[in-house]
Amino acid sequence: MGTSRIIARATQLVPIYNYGARLLISCQFATSPHHHVMTSMSYSLPKVCMMMAMAISCMMMMSQAASSTAAMAPRDGEGGGRRHHFVLVHGLCHGAWCWYRVATALRRAGHRVTALDMAAAGASPARVDEVRTFEDYSRPLLAALAALLPSGDGERVVLVGHSHGGFSVALAAERFPERLAAVVFLTASMPPVGRAMANTTDEYVSFVGADFFLDSRVLEQTNPDIPGNPEIFGPNFMAQKLYQLSPPEDLTLALSLIRPANRFTGDALMRDAGLLTKERYGSTRRVFVVVEDDHAIPVEFQRRMVAENPGVEVVDIAGADHMAMISKPAKLADLLVRIAAN
């Protein structure tokens, strides 16, 4: 059974509602090139019967994942050429799950893929009110890069950040420039050297205006140690601004899996103008993927960020919405491989 059928099966299983209680099972494939494992998380189940339903659903999904190993493996004649390691970082309110199409394409071509959940995102067990700082939020990425062992052939990873994930990959590039072959900003927030990362968010919000986010909601902040408020995207905002060119099934899945998130614009690290240096972040090979039909980050603002970052390579992808990894997965996978090969 292929990945798309597993995901389709997951949408039949989750979310499950019973007397207002929500069961959310978020699926993520393991990153080993030798096997694929389905993991699941559950939240807020007040009844034993619902816990039983969760366990049965998880076992069914794990069984399906195990049977799909052969289909996910590279086929004969596929994946010729040099193998690369791609590390994929999601945007606000999303998780590693949003990369499932691109991850499948890259793995089938013989490449290694690591799709990560940031803290309190996707299948992360943390709650949004437990993640106090932007560094804590980005820690899964920082830890993954820190754990990389230098290989005999000097392998370095291609780091890809989408949307708000651009801030996490920028921080990672500052910390680990020697471990990165390229840093790809897929219609992502790309802060310039010598300026606070939060300035990019401030400029973006000013550019699009307060009414731009439609039915997205700002939530109550339950942890006074975290500046600002968490937010959650609304269904109209997602349909009109993020997923307008994506398959409707993927929008349905995304509406089941998104979680509240903080932008951390008031965080000390995000406000540190000296954080990103020319010697480290600025020395990495940075590539910005412009998405012309993006309704969430307008192309004019994408090109403004490029103009503020001299020396950045620019490539375009046509016919994609903000969620280019879902609306044009094959085209994006091919583009990432070409970036890695250069």
Catalytic residues: 163, 294, 322
Cβ atoms of residues 115 and 88 within 8 Å = yes
Q: Euclidean distance between the first and final Cα of the chain, in Å? A: 34
CA angle at residue 174 from 132 to 192, to 5 degrees? 95
Going from the C-alpha of 75 to that of each of 109, 110, 207, 332, 336, the distances in angstroms are: 8, 9, 46, 20, 20
Going from the C-alpha of 136 to that of each of 2, 140, 221, the distances in angstroms are: 34, 8, 17
Residue 57 identity: S
| Beta strands in the chain, from DSSP E residues, in sequence order | 16-18, 21-23, 28-29, 38-39, 85-89, 112-116, 157-162, 180-186, 217-218, 231-232, 286-291, 313-317
DSSP sequence for 128-190: GGG--SHHHHHHHHHHHHHTPPPPTT---EEEEEETTHHHHHHHHHHH-GGGEEEEEEES---
Burial 323-341 (b: 16+ CB within 10 A, else e): bbbbbbbebbbebbbebbe
Nearest to 336 by CA among 153, 132, 127, 102: 102
**Cα dihedral 179/100/296/290 (nearest 10):** 50
